[in-house]
Chains A and B, each alone.
Chain A
Amino acid sequence: MKVLVPVKRVIDYNVKVRVKSDESGVDLTNTKMALNPFCEIAVEEAIRLKEKGLASEVVVVSIGTKACQEQIRTALALGADRGIHVDTDTDLDSLRVAKILACLVEEEKPNLVILGKQSIDSDNNQTGQMLAALTNMPQGTFASELIVDGETITVTREVDGGLQTLSLSLPAVITTDLRLNEPRYASLPNIMKAKRKPLAVKAATEFGVDLTPKVKVVKVETPPQRQSGVMVSDVAELVDKLKNEAKVIS
């Protein structure tokens, strides 16, 4: 079974987000970048399937500038077998990313595609579902457990108020939620080894997908800032303030 794992390079989750003063977007110059946390979980799950003998090959793909090769190498260091970098300077929306991934699914013919449920920059939560629609694959989104059994996969999904279990026929698209696994750290020898793993580069233009965005950003603003409040001296004063000033408890 071949597993395809699309991943995204995003701002590190611990970095403070700064909006540009001209409101054109978020300032990413000299900012620490990382593998999107949900994508990291997707990579980990694919590697675990390989370690269990269920997957034969884990292929990682990332779409973006040359810099995203760094995140592909991270995934290779974690245990993926080879990487594909789809090179573009254009900031693509989810639909265009899904269209390129659909072309790669056609080429690579994976039995399973595992993606993060959303990226922590654009927060769209769309790409996996769109890819499933475009390739006519069933989808198991927000997965917290996967069980592969022959030609089917049983997916436990995190839904509002509980867990839903679905049975999907393979090939299928899975998107990961936080509880699916806890990703490992790459060891130094594996980081060295990853440098020699194959990484193919393709131009985004070679897939015949129209890359022009249909949704334009008018402006990006900083949300209203909270004013810091008052310090209280003890529990009695705190409870009094909550009851009588803020009126949030009775």
Chain B
Amino acid sequence: MSILIIAEHDNTQVKPETAKLVHAAQKISGDITILVAGHECQSAASAAASLSGVSKVLCADDVALAHQLAEPVSELVVSLASAYTHILAAATTTGKNFMPRVAALLDVSQISDIIAIHDDNTFVRPIYAGNAIATVTSEEATHILTVRTTAFDAVDKDGNASVETVAFSSATPAKSAFVKVTETKSERPELTAADIVISGGRGMQNGDNFALLEGIADKLDAAIGASRAAVDAGFVPNDMQVGQTGKIVAPQLYIAVGISGAIQHLAGMKDSKVIVAINKDEDAPIFQVADYGLVGDLFEILPQLEQAL
């Protein structure tokens, strides 16, 4: 067995996901190699080499890899794949983008979003937005896996692996070109990465009332989310939606305000560590999953809460 991890990085640093991928890889038997594919990415490669338990780092440095577009990255990974039994990437928008291409080009099935590894060919993954947990076994000679990195801890940085350079030149003319990237500039943390999320539902009555959540979010350094009902009613934009068809979040603290708790909303937040529900309807299903419930008028409660924090 031998394992190849495709590093999650920004050409300068490896992202925390990479250290978690190494931890996942350690559940499989075999040597661990990390591939850093990018441009002017030597410092990211050195950072990858310091991760505990890694035997080798491959650094592919080419201008075509600068933005880690799916087409060149998958071409590179496929060219290296024959030496490995397992290829792992994080289930981020980067890993989800290129990994199925790798799988298809190798003519093997991919197993997405794994949260546990039982043995070298048995993996656990959530399906139906986490409403069911599937254990699957693969007969493929090469296992192509994306990993939900929140399910694994990061390894330490006390390793000292060697860094080798691998050459890359694309065999085919590029059909896709990078134009630009716009980073979301928000004072608040990203919904899926926030430690605390406060969400509003239909009970907020209109978009302006979401301002009541902002003061609390500022005090808690929280992200602001919404239920599908609030989005469908036009209160807030779609990218704030938490739920089965929106974003899946699992913060330390989730505060649901004026949200009844439709199944599809619960699917997006029920893995939160602590759930608080504030709702005027004491029979609202949200209270069945809440650790702390408070029945009352949110227009009275929210200002009090902001004051108390």
Contacts and interface: CB of A to CB of B under 8 A. Distances in A.
A216 B132 contact: no
Contact of A235 (B70, B127, B308): B308
Contact of A133 (B104, B131, B134, B196): B104
Contacts of A26: 127-128, 132
Given A13-B244, A120-B129, A163-B181, A129 B101 contact: yes
A134 B273 CA distance: 41
Interface string B224-255: 00000000000001110100111000001100
A49 interface: no
A123 B96 contact: no
Given A220-B132, A223-B133, A228 B288 contact: yes
Chain B interface mostly helix, strand, loop or mixed? mixed
B104 A95 contact: yes
Contacts of A235: 294, 301, 304-305, 308
B196 A249 contact: yes
A214 interface: yes
A10 to B, nearest CB: 9
Which of A140, A169, A228 has the largest number of chain B CB atoms within 10 A? A228
A160 interface: yes
A218 interface: yes
Given A138-B71, A232-B292, A248-B253, A239 B308 contact: yes
Interface string B25-63: 000000000000000000000000000000000000000
A147 to B, nearest CB: 11
A241 interface: yes
Contacts of B289: 226, 228
B162 interface: no
Contacts of A248: 196, 252-253, 273-274
A125 B108 CA distance: 15
Interface in B74-95: 74, 92-94
A158 B241 CA distance: 14
Contact of B179 (A132, A154, A242): A154
Interface SS of chain A = mixed
Contacts, number: 253
Question: B190, B253, B276, B291 — which one has the most chain A CB atoms within 10 A of its CB?
Answer: B291
A201 B298 CA distance: 54
A203 interface: no
A123 B113 contact: yes
A179 B96 contact: no
Contacts of A223: 126, 130-133
B181 A215 contact: no
Contact of A168 (B74, B175, B182, B253): B175
Contacts of A188: none
B71 A215 contact: no
Interface string B273-309: 1111000000000011111111100000100110011
Contact of A215 (B111, B270, B287): B111
Contact of A220 (B100, B133, B244): B133
A13 B245 CA distance: 8
Interface residues of B, number: 88
A238 interface: yes
Interface in A99-128: 120-128
Contacts of A213: 109
B137 A133 contact: no
Given A215-B139, A222-B132, A166 B294 contact: no
Given A19-B132, A157-B93, A248-B274, 19 more contacts: A17-B132, A95-B110, A122-B127, A123-B125, A124-B110, A137-B175, A139-B176, A154-B179, A164-B67, A167-B179, A215-B137, A218-B122, A221-B135, A232-B293, A232-B294, A235-B305, A239-B305, A239-B308, A242-B292
Closest 10 CB pairs of A and B: A129-B100, A229-B291, A130-B104, A17-B131, A138-B175, A126-B100, A138-B176, A133-B104, A165-B179, A248-B253
Interface of B: 67, 69-71, 74, 92-94, 96-105, 107-113, 122, 125-140, 172, 175-184, 190, 192, 196, 220, 237-239, 241, 244-246, 252-253, 262-264, 270, 273-276, 287-295, 301, 304-305, 308-309
23 contacts: A95-B103, A95-B109, A98-B104, A123-B128, A133-B74, A138-B71, A139-B71, A157-B93, A161-B184, A178-B239, A178-B246, A214-B109, A214-B139, A215-B140, A216-B137, A218-B137, A219-B135, A221-B132, A221-B134, A235-B301, A242-B276, A242-B292, A246-B291
